Structure 1
Amino acid sequence: MTNRYALNKGVLSRELVLLLALLAADSMDETAEREPEMFADIDWKLVVQLAMHHRVYPFLYPTISRMREKRVPSGVGECLQNEYRRNTVQMLQLGGEMGNLSGELADLNIRNLFLKGPVLAQDLYGDISLRTSRDLDFIVPIDDLTRAEALLIRLGYVKEEEFETILGDWKWRQHHTTFHHPVNNIKVEVHWRLNPAPSKEPDFDQLWERRRISNHFGRSVHYLSKEDLFLFLAAHGARHGWSRLRWLLDIKQLLQQQPDPGALTRLLDRYDHDDAGGQALILAAGLLNAPVDPGLSGLADRKKAQRLAELAMFYVERMVNLHNPPLPPEVERHYRYYQPAILSRGQQLVYALGFLYPYAADAKTLPLPKRLHFLYFPLRPFLWA
């Protein structure tokens, strides 16, 4: 570990420091013998709350259960064991549905790549019970989106919401639509982009060309290459402020697979995700002792990446869900600054120019016939004002 991955952990609670140690250690017994004080004066109820919030409890339970000395209260182990078993059942259900959906899509010749869920757990952890997933995410070419949605409806899924859109702005302002199955209670997100604009990213054909295939789920399941997966996870984690340690644990597990450093740095540079990638490396190495290939260390040396990592520590030290309003005032203020800060200059320009593109609200402010919707472009500044 070098100073490039040093982070200010002085603001973290003892409980969070212990949780990080449990997630990072190769042998927790050695850590406990070397630093027994780490287990003293711990609010174990808070440890469980942190593990649940950060969604790392299925990974945490085996670590605790393997410890030789019982430094963790039995009640904590029993609670985590119950949650671990519940998650295993849920992941098995999701895995079965993922294989079914992959087969149904393939039968319709709809190319698809699963982004997260059980295939990610199997690939990164070698065991689907060690990671949580609340839904299934897959991406399809935008030209096949209508057919993919029709398939889900035929299978009993219900679309949760319809976008208010004008002049096709949904294609880049949004990146997925959500379906829910009322019987099996499974949620599915269908993507046509990895991330919302102004994020730059590979097109579907490029992702498909580099895809990997898993045969653990009954039918062949296609998913992202290691390098594309890192780009996706880094951009996703940055957008959410790394407010859940599970995302950093994913990064650590992926780094242990040793993605090609040259291919990865070129990919991140091409799509303006150098700083998001550097932020992910700094946080994963600094908090979870993730291994970083020397060929990737230049990403962590970037000044902006270091600044973004420190900004993300604001969310790591708090149990917040950035997409579950209302947010506490101090979190709201911080996020208003953080959100544009994670964008490159080019992305910031695209983001600003996006305000000049008409919004669906403009049609409510000044209703016009659809054939005249092009007039919302020159009218946009006045309608916004």
Structure 2
Amino acid sequence: MKTGTHEIIHRLPIELELILSIMKLDRSSVSPEVIEAMAGPHIDWDRFLDLTKEHRLYPIVYANINKYNLSFIPAQVTSQLNQMFVRNTMKMLQLTAVMEKVCHTMEQSDIQSLVLKGPVLAEALFGDFSLRTSKDIDLLVPEESFEQAEQLLLQLGFQPDEHVPRALNAVKRNKHHLSYTHPESRIQVELHWRMSSDSFREFTFAELWERRRQTKKTSKPVNYLGHEDLFTYLISHGARHAWFRLRWLADIECMMRSEMKWNTVSEYCRKLDLMHVAGQVMVLLSELFDVPLDSRCRTMADHAKARRLAEEAVKIIDEYIYLLGKQSPSAAKAYFRTYNALILTPRQQWKRRINRFYPNYLDIKLLTLPRWLHFMYFPLRPILWFWRKKKRITV
């Protein structure tokens, strides 16, 4: 087994290299002495803190600073990490309580549900809710149960984050989830009927349900994805977002240290058009996290598109968090254009183009027609698209 060339990691800021090195202490690939040599006067500690927060890595960084007694880290840095750690622990406990209540309510109404990430992922990966961050609860239900599940959320006091017209099945065609927030707790639930947009292949809910697991550390069992299903979902989710938060890669690095049925993973990746994504992940893990790759993982990393995809992702990892507050949605979309051209397979690109001809919920929000005139959205689609673009430019 061998790791990467480390060419990619040296393109990242020295502060981010230091963060990754602290995270590697658990695997003995880096020593405290090496980290002390890195943590010299050239480190911008404000940037270090910002990066731990933006990449959502501060729980593990803080835990390792304490575990390995890295006393050379400035006291004010450790103090701020501690404050973030405590706040996150409280938030994760709150999320866990709400997750249990929502899932139990679904079960009582005979609605099957699978939690995709959040507290269940913290338990599955680290055995500790405090070592991972999460802003919401991602809940997957069968598409035919979505409306009933939505009504249950409303009965529990959650409110929709936006009004989305439901005509022409446009919501389910253009989106894969809707978000709801409780006005008192401010906890958000993303209710999914798919794990990603319909441009991407995925297993049916019934298949995922058959392979499900249950939490062990919650007061009531909560269902979540099977081990290999979770792995393929995480690599697909992270790749679609270009890994601009390293927490997603840290999740997968942790999974790599567990028992994995690699033949099953390869089979799933082939079925879901994810072989190039799996290759990208292996390159990134090898280069950034020093993950040793055996022959099966090395075969994935040798995919024709893997290294190019990894290099494009590193550009975004390096730059994107600094651009988030400065870009319009259209500029952010343009920023990802080169990356998306690589990450999407020809079939996915074709399906995405076809979907552009179908009316979406934005058309319906722009021009509300009576039900008997809904067929007019099809010929009006180019006009409504141009109208939206013009309004966006003139605002």
Q: TM-score, normalised by structure 2?
A: 0.89
Aligned partners of 1:110 and 1:144 also within 8 Å: yes
Shift of 1:305: 1.9
Q: State the match for 1:51 in structure 2.
A: 52
Shift of 1:83: 1.1
Q: State the match for 1:207 in structure 2.
A: 208
What's the secondary structure of 1:317's corresponding residue?
helix
Percent identity of paired positions between Structure 1 and Structure 2: 37
Distance, in Å, in 1 between the alignment partners of 2:93 and 2:35 is 37
Q: State the match for 2:24 in structure 1.
A: 24
Distance, in Å, in 2 between the alignment partners of 1:5 and 1:228 is 30
Q: State the match for 1:340 in structure 2.
A: 341
- What does the per-residue CA deviation read over 1:231-272, in whole Å, with 9 as the maximum and x for residues that have no partner? 211111111110111111101111112321111111011011
- Give the root-mean-square deviation of aligned CA atoms: 2.6
Aligned partners of 1:29 and 1:67 also within 8 Å: no
Aligned partners of 2:54 and 2:245 also within 8 Å: yes
Q: Any unmatched runs of 5+ in structure 2? A: 387-395
Q: State the match for 2:302 in structure 1.
A: 301
Shift of 1:281: 2.1
Structure 1 residue identity aligned to 2:189? V
- Change over 3 Å in CA distance of 1:382–1:36 after alignment to 2: closer
- What does the per-residue CA deviation read over 1:121-167, in whole Å, with 9 as the maximum and x for residues that have no partner? 01101111000011111100011111111111111111111224542
Distance, in Å, in 2 between the alignment partners of 1:128 and 1:184 is 19
Structure 2 residue identity aligned to 1:112? S
Aligned partners of 2:279 and 2:302 also within 8 Å: yes
What's the secondary structure of 2:138's corresponding residue?
strand
Between 1:292-301 and 1:81-90, the stretch displaced more is 292-301
What's the secondary structure of 2:359's corresponding residue?
coil
Distance, in Å, in 2 between the alignment partners of 1:100 and 1:213 is 15
Shift of 1:3: 6.3
Structure 1 residue identity aligned to 2:89? T
- Change over 3 Å in CA distance of 1:19–1:33 after alignment to 2: same
What's the secondary structure of 2:280's corresponding residue?
helix
Q: State the match for 1:147 in structure 2.
A: 148
Between 1:211-220 and 1:244-253, the stretch displaced more is 211-220
Between 1:247-256 and 1:372-381, the stretch displaced more is 372-381
Distance, in Å, in 1 between the alignment partners of 2:66 and 2:9 is 27
Q: TM-score, normalised by structure 1?
A: 0.91
- What does the per-residue CA deviation read over 1:162-210, in whole Å, with 9 as the maximum and x for residues that have no partner? 2245421221310111111111221111100001131111110011011
Q: State the match for 1:12 in structure 2.
A: 12
Structure 1 residue identity aligned to 2:202? E
Between 1:327-336 and 1:277-286, the stretch displaced more is 327-336
Shift of 1:285: 2.5
Between 1:8-17 and 1:142-151, the stretch displaced more is 8-17
- What does the per-residue CA deviation read over 1:93-120, in whole Å, with 9 as the maximum and x for residues that have no partner? 1111111112111111100000111111
Distance, in Å, in 2 between the alignment partners of 1:321 and 1:235 is 24
Shift of 1:335: 1.2
1:25-44 to 2 correspondence within 5 Å? 25-26=25-26, 31-34=31-34, 36-41=36-41, 42-44=43-45
Q: State the match for 1:117 in structure 2.
A: 118
Distance, in Å, in 2 between the alignment partners of 1:271 and 1:167 is 27
Structure 1 residue identity aligned to 2:8? N
Shift of 1:34: 4.2
- Change over 3 Å in CA distance of 1:182–1:361 after alignment to 2: closer
1:121-200 to 2 correspondence within 5 Å? 121-200=122-201
Report how many aligned residue pairs link the two structures: 385
- Change over 3 Å in CA distance of 1:162–1:294 after alignment to 2: farther
